[in-house]
Structure formats: structure tokens, C-alpha cells
Structure 1
Amino acid sequence: MTSVKLYVYDLSNGMVRQLSRQLTGRQIDGIWHTSVVVFGKEVFYGQGINTTAPGRSHHGSPMQVIDMGETALDEDTFNEYIQEMSQHYTADKYHLLEFNCNSFTDDCVGFLTGGSIPSFIKDLPTDFLSTPFGAALRPTIDAMYRRPTPGPAAAPAPSAGADPQLAASILQAVASQAQGGMPTQAAAHPNAATNSLTAPVHVVTNPASFKSFLGSHKAAVAFFTSETCPPCKMIEPVFERLAEEKGTHGGRNGAGFAKVDIDVGLGSALALEWKITATPTFIFFLDGKKSDQLLGADRNELRTQVDLLLFQVYPPHPHTSVPMPAIQALSMNPILFSQVPPIDTVLSKLASFIDAQPWPPSTALTKAQAISTLSGTVGPYLKSRFATTPPPAPLPSATPAILVSWAQTTAVLASVLPVDSLFPLVDMWRLAFLDPAVGIWAATAIASQNPISAFLPKALATPTTAPSKGARNYLLTVLRMLCNAFSSLALAQRILGDAQVRGAVMGVLVPSLLHDDATVRTAGASLAFDIAAVVQKRRVEAVRTGRGIMEEDEAEEGRDEWDVEMISALLEAVDRERENEEVVHRLVAALAFFLRLSPQYQTQLAPLLQVLQSKDILRRKLSAGDGWTAAGGIAKKEVKKLVEEVAEKLCA
């Protein structure tokens, strides 16, 4: 028996540990590279498969050595395996996220011991790509390896992080370390990625890896192929497109897609185990058990079988078969507040508030510094971006330098100025959030730099009954700013995915729906709609791609309790609204989005709707009297149809 060790290195040399929270919003301790040490040598994948004395590669000394057990195989057998694998793990197929050193070591460990490498290493790409920063950098990483990103071409993010230059330097350092192994014939073109490998397709070469693959997917499709099989080459692009459309990449529910070349590694053993007698053969798995099999290159039947598999694992929501034309006609675009005030007047008013305010001596900025940042940096940006005359094309965007300086000034002013004096500053950020670059930056900024976090605490303390004029203006402007923040999907996901920020937003939103001021109620209803639209977009996409909607999809975000709170608040607001038809329209539209495709509809929401007498609340809005002050009830035909549809089809 011979021991098998896993050497673990950090390709970022500690940079990611220090900067990950700033860049991604979560702690990542390293960008892991691994190699296998067995029979007195270290074997790893970079520029092809490389072999060196343990600890003598260009990566230096490992950060960690993990004992992977022992192997009963002899060295000659392992060498033969590596020789076979070298035809598969070539330099041109390397991809930092998809097919890398860790893919290779996982195969080797599976071959030697029947085990697999630790999940914290295998899951790192998925964890990284699930952050807004990772998603924004995905096109850049793909471009480095010349692999096209599926779907429409994505423009590079203008400021996808605290500092794009810093992100670029980290990427370059990691890529250089990752693939900087010993020269091979392919080294002259290390990034000429082939088209035979795509992100959602797992390449499996041994039974242990195949077992691990099946264990990590509720639904799985295995494509048994051979290099010498012409029909396999014809059907392979179809298989890869299905993997893109219906795979689990990007944190989505879907099927796992695996490719097994029966002539590579222990592929022949897998073929024998699963009784593969011809290629191409597709086997479909439910919870790790074979459910069906398809022989031959029938693209239509392959797509049908994949859809059927997903239907079984992720059955469609029952409401998808119920026609709801009024709800389906609703736009899922956010309601935005884009009116541009006289920027010089706003700056002048804010400067006068700063001048009049007593300034604690320990404050991080002086009055002069704060005013200088606003008038000398922020003002020119806003006036160029939101010019009253025809602006230049393309529109100028905020740079990270502007935003960091402005955010630091905002944090100081939010701590010093009273609520009555802050609303001009909030209004400037309201405008800025219409710039996509600002949304991307805010989605990845640390909490202390995010202006939303600076403004929410004072908004939470604003009274909803008989507030001062300044307090009312502040709350109204914060609500409108939050609506505009939802123009950025990355920022919307950051807000809804952070329990603390989401809780603060809810603390501001719910009372605003019942506010004495009709304008505040309109802004609150708009924000409720924008939040519901983001949730609905995600659910509609799940249904559209055939992945279905399961309760566990949203349980991690605590969305079940949050849905209940939102739906209860929306119904109470509808019940109390007596005069503003537009407020009712937005509230009922938000309610429809939260209800229609909710995975908790049958288990939690339907009983709740009955207890809250939701149908009666909505029906009362359709006639004059207790529920509505206008004669004859709601006048607008489209609003009336929406209220009737939600009442009869979702609240029945």
C-alpha cells in the first residue's frame, strides 16, 4: 500500500484572503491549486500534465498537505493511467474555472483511492461565480481562455468591484500561477481553448468521480461517447447546448451533465458497469438511480428526455397551467424615479446645511473637505451624466475613485447632519443609481462604503404619523433612491440576499405603505413592486428553462418568512388605501408577483390568504363604500381586471 497526499496551494499568494470580502462581499481564503503526491513524485495539471519532485514545482511549498489515504495500485499502473490522461488533460483545454488542476487531482484521487478531493476546493468556482463580483468577471475570465460566453455578448463591467485594476492584477497573477507549469508543445498557445468542453459539462474519467457526480445532482444526464464515433461528434454540440440551458451552473436548479469518453482513463470500466454496448448512449438519472436510456444521436428525443427528467425532479408550479392574462401582461421592469432636479441648487442647499451644522472635532472630514468633494467631484459627474442639453454618447459613468470618495463623505454627513438636512444628499444618490456603473459598484462595496447602509438607520427612525416636513422629505427620497437601486440586478440581489440589509429595507418599506402622506405611499408601493419584480423574474426564468421551482431554492435566503411578511403588509396597505388608484395598482401587482409562482403557495400562503380574508379585501376595491371613496370603485379598466384576477385566481 502506498500513501496518497494532496498538496494544496493558494494561487493568489494570500491576496484573496485579504481582499475577498471587499471584492465579493464574502470571505474566500484562497484560490486553490492542488496536486497529487504519490510514488515519490508530485503530479499536477497546468501546461498539460506535469511531474516533479514533491514541493519542487513553480508553486513552491504547499500551504496544506491533506492525507487522502492509501492506494493498492502499483506505480506502473498509475503511470499508464497518467499516459492515457495526458491525451485528455492538454494545455489547450485548461480553463481557470471549469477544467483545471483540481479537476485533474479529483480524477487521480478517484483512480488511486476511490475518494475525491475536499468540497471546499471543488466548490470554489461555484461559490465565486455566485457573487455579483464573480458574475461580472465571468466574461473577462472566459475571454482570457477564448471561450465564448453562452447567450448575448456581455459587455465588460465598468467597475465590477472596489478597483477593477486590482481585480485584473489578481486575475493575471492567478492565471499565470495556475498554468505556469513546465513547457509543453502547447505552451506557445496556452489559451487557445477548444470548443469540445463547456462550463456545465462534467468530464468524468473514472467510477469514483462518476459516483461523486451522481451524488451531487438530483437529476443527471450521462453522455457515453468515443473519439472514433462520428454520430457522437454530431450530437455533442446539442448536448452542450442543453447543458448550458438546463444545467446547474450559476447556482441554478437543473440537471447535471457528464461526458464519459469510454476510451479515456477508466471510461471503459464505467461503460462495462453501465452496460454500454454502443455510442452515443445517454443515461438519465433520478437521485442517483437510472431512470431511462437513449441510444443514438436523436437530438429531438434527447431534448424531450431532458425536459421530462427535469419535470419529474422539479415539477412546474400549478399556476403555470392557469391562464392569468392580466398578471402575465404586467411588466417586470422596475419603477424608477428619474426626474433630474437643478443639480447646482441641490449642491448649494446641501452646502448651506453643512455650513450651518456644528461639526464635532473628531469627524474624519472637515466641512471644507466634504463640500469640496461634493462640488468639485460629485457635482461635475452628475451634471455631465444628467445634462439637460443632449448628453454625449456614450454617457459618462462614475469611476470607483469618485464613488469611494463620495461614499466616505456620505458616511460622515449621515452621522453629523440631522434628517431634515440629509435629503438633498440622498437625492443625489437617487440620480446616481440610474448609472449602471454605480449599481455594480454598490453591489460589491463593503458595507461601510455602501450609501444605502448609511441612509437606512435614519429612515427607520422616521415617524409615519405627523412627521416633520424634513423627515417626510427624507423618507420619500430614501424610498425613491431604493427604487432606483433596483435598476441594477446585481445590487438588487445584494440587498435581498443580505438578511441585515433586507430587514432594514423592510423596516422602512412596511410603515411607508401606511403613511399619512399619499406621495410617500406611492413611493413605498413602487418599491414593493420593484422588490416583487426581482423575485418574479427569478421564478419566471426557472419555469422558462424547465427547472421548476422548489421550496429549497429560496429557503437559504429565508424567503418563506419574508414572503409572508410582505404579503401581509401588502394586503393591509390595499385594505387601508381609500383614494389613490395608482397605489392600489402597484400594491396588487406586487401581491400578484409574490403569489403566482411562490414555492410556498400551497403549503403556507393559501392558508394565510384565507385567514387574512384577502379575497374580500380585494373585492371591496371594486365598488364604492367601505373599501373605496370614488363612486363605482376603481375606474381604470386594466387595474380593475388585475384586482379581479388576483382575487379570483390567487386568493380564492
Structure 2
Amino acid sequence: MPTVQLYVYDLSNGLAKQLSRQLTGKQIDGVWHTSVVIFGKEVFYGQGISITAPGQSHHGNPLHVVDVGETALDEETFNEYLEEMRDVYTADKYHLLDFNCNSFTNDCVGFLTGGSIPAWIKDLPSDFLSTPFGAALRPTIDSMFRRPTPGAASPPAAPSPGAMQQAAAASPNPALASALLQAVASQAMSTGSLSVPTSLPRTPTAGSATVAAPIHMCTNSSALHGILQSHRAAVVFFTSATCGPCRMIEPVFEELSHNKTHGNGGGKTAFVKVDMAGMGNQVGAEYGIRATPTFLFFLDGKKINEVKGANAAELRSQVDMLLFQAFPPHPHTKLSLRAVEALSTDPILFTQVPALDTVATKFGTFIDAATPSEQLTTAKATISTSFLPFLKTRFADSGSASKKPAVQCTPQMLAQWTTATTSLVNVLSPAQLFPLVDMWRLALLEESVATWLATAPTPSALSLLLNKGAQVLDTADPAQKTAGRNYLLTLLRLLANGFAHAALAQSLLAHAPAGKRALVTCVVVACLLFGDAAVRTAAASVAFDVAATLQRSRVERVTGRAASTGMGHIEVAEDEEWEVEMVSAVLEALTNETQSEEVVHRLVAALAFLLRLSPSYEGQLAPLLEVLQARETLKSKLAKGGCGESGVQKAEVRKLIEEVADKLCS
């Protein structure tokens, strides 16, 4: 049987992977355009259905070629299908968000094989539109990039400046987003072209022209079955172009698709349109559809309800009921947690600026005392002529971190700093390296540095410094641990500053190989039990930042809105095993902490954020809390001797401890 292939093109030519995190706060590896290759021809949808020899379209060579199965159909049957689809996939129906090339290939693959295109292509729309930038940009894209009816002379309508400013403001990098949007708008308005502008690098913003909306278009049963199998909940709208009531209810359906594909069910909720014209009537016949509009509601692939007619109130009610059944609210959403909700999720940062010349002089003596080498000479020169001048320009020398006009670090500069760091880490001891760590601590407060490090090649400077810290903690020699105290303290403060910007925060908590979660966890967990109080305070600060970042990610998933921290979109993957490790470590640290009320405060806040809204709460964490006697541990901090002679004294800290103990640990 003939093999069906999917040709995949990245319309951003690699720039989506490079710039998406800066623009959206989320990693998007490509802006995918797809076509189907079968029977020696490449078929795709744009200005109608087009057919070329494989690899001979205007997109050039595909980035990926994916085998999506085999077909038992013959070429004649497929040609008949395409002819019928020409009435469905017409140029005037093409919409860069709702009805595009990927909609077409998904239908074709369903017809030929009974399957669907890969999820990493199909789910790109929800990934993009679930970001604050994507959601804010949706109206602008609608305005700029709606293709005209064939023969229309007018270019795409210009978006309002206010809409573009609002969209850019939702990006983690508003200046970059604004510049790119202006360039794309200028290109579209002057030429009517939807190509990426040549005056700026190709960007995922422009390329999102091929991003489909949360609405899936289906013209055959196989495609619909594939959607039902891959989504927990689905709403299927049977419609037709000649149906007046369908046109009345369609805006409500589209509004629901945009609003309800965020939050808990974001990646597992599908809104599907089936046009009863053409082959869509076969889908309707399978489900006994006799009139339009009709809405079917599916849970785990099974039909559970049906609504007929243009009843907007009933449609909204049934969608809400479906999503409640599919994604019941977390039990913590019913709790009154005023003390926990009053906690800021802004990261704890260490922004104090030392006398940089003094730091550099001291570090220079450590380098000079080492065995001379060409690598050390080059590293010292890099520190003195590049790294230190940047810090002195970026930060005031008055002991504060008041921000001067931003100084952009080039990738070349950062690569040089990393090379210098590698040379120094390989030669100097931890007791000699802490001034270098302190320089990186300050540098991470600059967004351009943090963003670069989030995707820096391995080994990155952060990985090198973290590994050195792990070596200090692994040693069995107490003297070496004591000697490494300053290194660990500055390393923890550096880690805390790594949570100042969303891109690096996500990288620090991402899984290997790209992420640094295992290294961060290793260092933090060990330092929570360190003998030195300052080290424990810094470790508790990082534990709080980790938990607060996780909390912001959860709040976004539950509410569909970014937390109001100014950091932009945050997404941290849930990991039950890791959460158990972090909760256990925080509780052990709380048990042992009898001196510092500040450390207790940060640890309790971290525990609250680790527990609240956790998907693992009822399955793993609640039993763990009982075994570890978490409630008793927290309550003990309020009693005499639990933290200082008289226990915790500050009223707000006592209230937080009582709330976490009684409501999250009971």
C-alpha cells in the first residue's frame, strides 16, 4: 500500500525557535506549514488547493518528512476526494488562524489513513494562543492577515495602533514585539503580501500566519475520530453555509473556543466544526444529524449530550458542564486561603551591588596565584575588559541595584564570559571562585543575559557553577565544606536571581537535557540543612522562588490568565516525584530550623505554594503530609522553643503557619 507522507516547513526559518521565548514567554520550535505527499504529488492548501511535484512548491525543501501511515485507497478515489474538497477549501475561506494548510492536511490524512497529523503540529495553535501575547495578538492577526477574496485589489486591513500596542505589551519583550509587529504591518499594508518582512529577521509573530485557532475543521469521520481520541473533551458544531441560525450562533461558538481552550483543559479540549456541505454530510449521517445547527458534546470519546438550534444560553451551559465533568476544579479552589493568597509570588532577589573594583582586584589575586596558562591569561583579560565594564555600566556603584539604561549583551560577549568561566572553574577552588559567582549574580538581573542563558549551549556558565557547588556539598571533608561556604552562599543568591525573568526561571525548572532542575534541586535541598544560617536563609529564598514560579504556572492553567507579576507567561511541567522530593525537603528543613523566623517564614510560604493547586495533592502529597506529620511540625513553630525561645512572633507569619497547617496539611 502507498505510504502517506507529511512535508513540514518552518515558515520562520528557525527564528521561531530563537525568538519565541522572548516574544511569548514560551518555547515554540517552529511555525509549521504542512502538505500531504501521496501518489507522487504534493498537495497543500493556500489560495485554494494546489498540487505540485514533491518538494517543488514555493516553500522549497521541507524541514521534516513524516510518515503518517499507509492508505488502502487508490489514486482515482483520492482525486475524487480532492475535487469535492475544492468546494470546501476555497481561497475566500482561508483564514490564517481558523482554516488553513494544517486544517487541510489533517483532513487529508484522516481520509487516507484514518489518523491525523502529529500533535506537535496540531496543538501549536493552542500553545501560541494560550500565551498572553498570543491572546492579545489574536485580534491584530485577524485584522492584518485575513486573506481577501480572490480578485480583491485591496490589501489586508490595517490594525489599529492601539491594538498593536496592547498586543506588544503582553509580550515578555514588548520592545521587540512592537518593532516586529510594526514591520509586519508595514509590509502587509504596502504590498498586500503576507510574507515575513525583510527589514527585520523572520519572526514567529509573522509566521503565526499559519497557526490554526482552537477550532478544528473536519470533513470526514476519520479526522473527527482522531480528534475525539486525542482530546478529553470535545464540542462538535454541525453547520452549513446556507443556514441562517448557524450564522447567528457561530460567533458564540468561536468565543467559547477561544475562552475555554485556556486553563486546566487547554490542551485537551477541542472545538470542532463540520460543514454539512460535501463530505461533511457523511460525518453528520454517522451521528444522525438531521438539522443544523446541532452541537454534540463528547467526553473521553463518548457522546454525552446534544443541543439543537441556535440557543446561545444552552450552548454556554452545556460547554461549562462538559468542562466541569472533564476537568473538575481543584479542591483548593473551594478553600478560603487569605494568608496564602496574600503572599506575593514575586521572586526573592539579591540585588545589592558590592564595590566592583574591590571584587575584581581580589579575584585578580586569586587568578595570579594559580599556575600561569594562556587560558587563565585570556580569562582574566575577558573579566577585566568585558565582564566588569558591563556590570559597572549596568549597575550603580552606590550599593544599590537601581537600573541604568539597559546595556545589551551580544551573544559573542556572553560566549566569551562562558569560555572564561570554564577556564577559571577548571583551575580555581570554590573558595577562590565566589567573586566570579557574585559577578554572574548581578548579571542575571539583566534580561538580555538571563534570556541568553535560558537557551545557552551546554555546558552553560550556570551548569558549570552548579556542578562546582554540588562538588562542595558532596565532599565528606568538613573543612572543605566550611571553606566552600562563601561559594555556596553566592551560588544560592545567583540562583535566586535566576528567577527574575521568566525565560531563565523556566529553564532552571525544566527537565534534562535542556533544563537544570536536577542540579538546582540537588544544591537547594542540601543547603536547606547547611550549618551556616546565612546559607540556610539563601537556600530558603531559592526554595520560595522555585515554589512561587510553580504556583504562577498553576494559576495560569486554572484561570487562563498570567499572574500579575510583570514577568509574563510562565509554564512549569508538573512532576509528581520531584514535588514529593521538594515537599519532603522543605518539611525536614522546617523541623530542624529553630533559630531564624525569617527562614521559617520563607519555608512555610514555599510549602504553601508547593501544595496549593498541585495535581498530585490528593494522590501523593496528602498521604505524605500525614506520614511526615506536617501539621504537627508547623504547629510546633508557634510553641516555645519551636523557633527561638518563644516561638514565631510576627502575627502575619503565625497566621500563615496556622492556615497552611489547618487547611493544606490536614
TM-score range with shorter-chain normalisation? 0.7 to 0.9
- Counterpart check, 1:306 vs 2:322: no
Structure 1 pair 356/302, CA: closer, same or farther in 2 (3 Å)? Answer: farther
Instruction: Give the secondary structure class of the aligned counterpart of 1:11.
Output: strand
Residue in 1 that maps onto 2:287:
274
Structure 1 pair 303/140, CA: closer, same or farther in 2 (3 Å)? Answer: closer
- Counterpart check, 1:69 vs 2:71: yes
Residue in 1 that maps onto 2:469:
459
- CA deviation profile, 1:236-290 (whole Å, cap 9, x unmatched): 3443333233227999444111122223x42222233333344333221101111
Give the counterpart of 1:638 among 629, 652, 657. Answer: 652
- State the Cα distance separating 1:44 from its structure 2 match: 2.1
Bigger drift between 383-392 and 307-316 goes to 383-392
Residue in 1 that maps onto 2:443:
432
Residue in 2 that maps onto 1:226:
240
Residue in 2 that maps onto 1:523:
538
Structure 1 pair 76/477, CA: closer, same or farther in 2 (3 Å)? Answer: closer
TM-score (norm 2): 0.78
Report matched runs for 1:63-142 at 5 Å.
66=67, 68-71=70-73, 74=77, 77-87=80-90, 93-94=95-96, 100-111=100-111, 113=112, 115-117=114-116, 119=118, 122-124=119-121, 126=123
Letter in 1 for 2:631: K
Residue in 1 that maps onto 2:390:
381
Give the counterpart of 1:559 among 575, 586, 590. Answer: 575
C-alpha distance in 2, partners of 1:541/1:83?
41
Gaps of 5+ in 2: 146-162, 188-192, 196-205, 562-571
Letter in 1 for 2:73: T
8 Å contact 1:10–1:30 — kept in the other structure?
no
- State the Cα distance separating 1:402 from its structure 2 match: 2.4
8 Å contact 1:254–1:310 — kept in the other structure?
no
Structure 1 pair 16/193, CA: closer, same or farther in 2 (3 Å)? Answer: closer
8 Å contact 2:132–2:171 — kept in the other structure?
no
Letter in 1 for 2:115: S
Instruction: Give the secondary structure class of the aligned counterpart of 1:337.
Output: coil
C-alpha distance in 1, partners of 2:116/2:100?
13
Report matched runs for 1:239-258 at 5 Å.
239-247=253-261, 252-258=266-272
Report matched runs for 1:235-384 at 5 Å.
235-247=249-261, 252-263=266-277, 265-360=278-373, 365-367=375-377, 369-384=378-393
- State the Cα distance separating 1:125 from its structure 2 match: 6.2
8 Å contact 1:129–1:250 — kept in the other structure?
no
8 Å contact 1:248–1:256 — kept in the other structure?
no
- Counterpart check, 1:37 vs 2:65: no
Residue in 2 that maps onto 1:403:
414
8 Å contact 1:220–1:286 — kept in the other structure?
yes
Instruction: Give the secondary structure class of the aligned counterpart of 2:408.
Output: coil
Instruction: Give the secondary structure class of the aligned counterpart of 1:34.
Output: strand
Structure 1 pair 128/351, CA: closer, same or farther in 2 (3 Å)? Answer: farther
Structure 1 pair 271/581, CA: closer, same or farther in 2 (3 Å)? Answer: same
8 Å contact 1:596–1:650 — kept in the other structure?
yes
Give the counterpart of 1:588 among 604, 615, 637. Answer: 604
Residue in 1 that maps onto 2:190:
none
Structure 1 pair 10/43, CA: closer, same or farther in 2 (3 Å)? Answer: closer
Bigger drift between 462-471 and 472-481 goes to 462-471
Letter in 2 for 1:378: F
Letter in 2 for 1:69: T
Residue in 1 that maps onto 2:565:
none
Task: Give the number of aligned pairs.
Answer: 599
C-alpha distance in 1, partners of 2:559/2:137?
27
Gaps of 5+ in 1: 173-177, 181-190, 547-555
Structure 1 pair 356/136, CA: closer, same or farther in 2 (3 Å)? Answer: farther
C-alpha distance in 1, partners of 2:640/2:550?
33
Residue in 2 that maps onto 1:508:
523
- Counterpart check, 1:417 vs 2:419: no
Instruction: Give the secondary structure class of the aligned counterpart of 2:368.
Output: helix
Residue in 2 that maps onto 1:601:
617
Give the counterpart of 1:576 among 592, 617, 631. Answer: 592
8 Å contact 1:536–1:594 — kept in the other structure?
yes
Structure 1 pair 14/223, CA: closer, same or farther in 2 (3 Å)? Answer: closer
Instruction: Give the secondary structure class of the aligned counterpart of 2:216.
Output: strand
C-alpha distance in 1, partners of 2:333/2:324?
13
Residue in 2 that maps onto 1:551:
none
- State the Cα distance separating 1:385 from its structure 2 match: 2.3
- State the Cα distance separating 1:400 from its structure 2 match: 2.4
Structure 1 pair 103/624, CA: closer, same or farther in 2 (3 Å)? Answer: same
- State the Cα distance separating 1:47 from its structure 2 match: 3.9
Instruction: Give the secondary structure class of the aligned counterpart of 1:44.
Output: strand
- State the Cα distance separating 1:116 from its structure 2 match: 3.0
Letter in 2 for 1:618: L
8 Å contact 2:238–2:276 — kept in the other structure?
yes
Structure 1 pair 526/5, CA: closer, same or farther in 2 (3 Å)? Answer: same
C-alpha distance in 2, partners of 1:135/1:608?
35
Identity among equivalent pairs (%): 44
Instruction: Give the secondary structure class of the aligned counterpart of 1:416.
Output: coil
Letter in 1 for 2:580: V
C-alpha distance in 2, partners of 1:139/1:6?
37
Residue in 2 that maps onto 1:649:
663
8 Å contact 1:22–1:446 — kept in the other structure?
no
TM-score (norm 1): 0.79
- State the Cα distance separating 1:580 from its structure 2 match: 0.8
Instruction: Give the secondary structure class of the aligned counterpart of 1:239.
Output: helix
- CA deviation profile, 1:113-166 (whole Å, cap 9, x unmatched): 3523553xx5246479979xx999999999889468997743474999xxx99x
Bigger drift between 456-465 and 579-588 goes to 456-465
Structure 1 pair 254/418, CA: closer, same or farther in 2 (3 Å)? Answer: same
Structure 1 pair 44/345, CA: closer, same or farther in 2 (3 Å)? Answer: same
Letter in 2 for 1:459: G
8 Å contact 2:36–2:43 — kept in the other structure?
yes
- Counterpart check, 1:614 vs 2:605: no
Residue in 2 that maps onto 1:11:
9
8 Å contact 1:421–1:470 — kept in the other structure?
no
- State the Cα distance separating 1:54 from its structure 2 match: 5.5
- State the Cα distance separating 1:587 from its structure 2 match: 0.4
C-alpha distance in 2, partners of 1:28/1:637?
48
Bigger drift between 51-60 and 473-482 goes to 51-60
Instruction: Give the secondary structure class of the aligned counterpart of 1:514.
Output: coil
- CA deviation profile, 1:551-582 (whole Å, cap 9, x unmatched): xxxxx967212122111111111111112111
8 Å contact 1:126–1:250 — kept in the other structure?
no
Residue in 2 that maps onto 1:175:
none
Give the counterpart of 2:229 among 207, 212, 215. Answer: 215
Letter in 1 for 2:539: G
Instruction: Give the secondary structure class of the aligned counterpart of 1:599.
Output: coil
Bigger drift between 65-74 and 578-587 goes to 65-74
8 Å contact 1:231–1:296 — kept in the other structure?
yes
- CA deviation profile, 1:457-482 (whole Å, cap 9, x unmatched): 11112259666665111101111111
Instruction: Give the secondary structure class of the aligned counterpart of 1:270.
Output: helix
Letter in 1 for 2:120: D
- State the Cα distance separating 1:524 from its structure 2 match: 0.6
Residue in 2 that maps onto 1:552:
none
Instruction: Give the secondary structure class of the aligned counterpart of 1:291.
Output: strand
Bigger drift between 583-592 and 642-651 goes to 642-651
C-alpha distance in 2, partners of 1:14/1:323?
46
8 Å contact 2:363–2:432 — kept in the other structure?
yes
C-alpha distance in 2, partners of 1:313/1:140?
29
- State the Cα distance separating 1:13 from its structure 2 match: 11
C-alpha distance in 2, partners of 1:208/1:348?
70
